[in-house]
Amino acid sequence: MDKRFQKLNQITIPSLIEFGDLALIFFTRRDLVGEDSGDIEQLWELPDVIKILKKQSSDGSWPYPKRGQAAHPTENYHILQTFRTLGYLIEMYGFNKSHPAVSQAAEFLLAHQSEEGDIRGIFGSQYAPHYTAGILELLVKAGYRTDSRIHKAFKWFENMRQVDGGWAWPLRTAKVKYQDAIDMEKPVQSDLNKPFSHALTGFVIRAYAAHPGYRTTPVAQNAGELLKGRFFLPDKYSDRKGSEYWFKYQYPFWWANLLTVLDSLSRIGFSAVDMDIQRGLDWFRENQLENGFWYTGYGKKDGVDLNQAWVALAVGRVFCRFAG
């Protein structure tokens, strides 16, 4: 086995198991060790899961926490909170559409699909391609990959590509301020001749990578080529522009970073012998801590240790996938 994977076996796996989180142990044994961890539904009865499920509303949504400044009247942050919560259930506890909480949440989210195909409402009338992609990724993983509404969303992404083959937030390419756009009745259209944003494209490609049919398309392959050529560079636009954002890691995945992009490329079919992929994997090999984990870039906030452990599991999955 390549030296890059030796420390993963020797240190990361024991550290993940010793961490003591039952869901983390389940996926570590299943995905990194190759053992039969049993029925995934055993995780659905964990106390932390029950707490999450109790907060779901009758319409299938999870209400956005009422703290801080109130959202703009046209912003529907319940969509955002439902997306975020669904991420925990699907990514950390293996939920799928067979569970009523997921099917109800899916219908709530898809009820906000526009005629064009995107999920709209978080930013009023404006496009939210990053959140549309994140929702699409989760629904595909939950078992909705053959749903016609899923195909409609992928078609929208094909139509929304920049000329160079990536994606960018229309407000940035058109140079329209969010404060002005949020009151508009119609969405701002993208200047498709402007360059792609790797921060946004890294979000969108996760949806393609999750779907066995779309991950092999020229659209996904081209986006992957663009992304790996941007490793460690600042973005073209102001959102998460600095190169340091390549190294800020969250689980479940949220914003694009080196880990999320490598995860997508490993699913799409890129090879570890690719020089750009090697540079990305080498960063994780060279920056691994003594306990087999990695700094996530989020300091000492509450939950940082648990996040660090889940990130380590995600890194392990990437290495294993590239190792074949």
Q: What is the pLDDT of residue 300?
A: 65
Q: What is the pLDDT of residue 66?
A: 72
Place of tokens 């360059």: 195
Q: Tens digit of pLDDT for each residue in 184-221?
A: 999 999 999 999 999 999 999 999 999 999 999 999 99
Q: Tens digit of pLDDT for each residue in 81-121?
A: 999 999 999 999 999 999 999 999 999 999 999 999 999 99
Contact present, 235 and 286 (Cβ < 8 Å): no
Q: What is the pLDDT of residue 324?
A: 79
Q: What is the pLDDT of residue 1?
A: 44
Q: What is the pLDDT of residue 298?
A: 82
Q: Which residues of the chain have pLDDT under 70?
A: 1-9, 67-71, 299-302
Mark residue 65 as left, alpha or beta (left: phi above 0; alpha: psi -120 to 50; beta: remaining).
Answer: beta
* Range list of H helices, 19-128: 22-27, 47-54, 77-93, 100-110
Contact present, 113 and 149 (Cβ < 8 Å): yes
pTM (2 d.p.): 0.95
Interhelix angle 258-268/198-210, nearest 10 degrees? 40
Contact present, 27 and 19 (Cβ < 8 Å): no
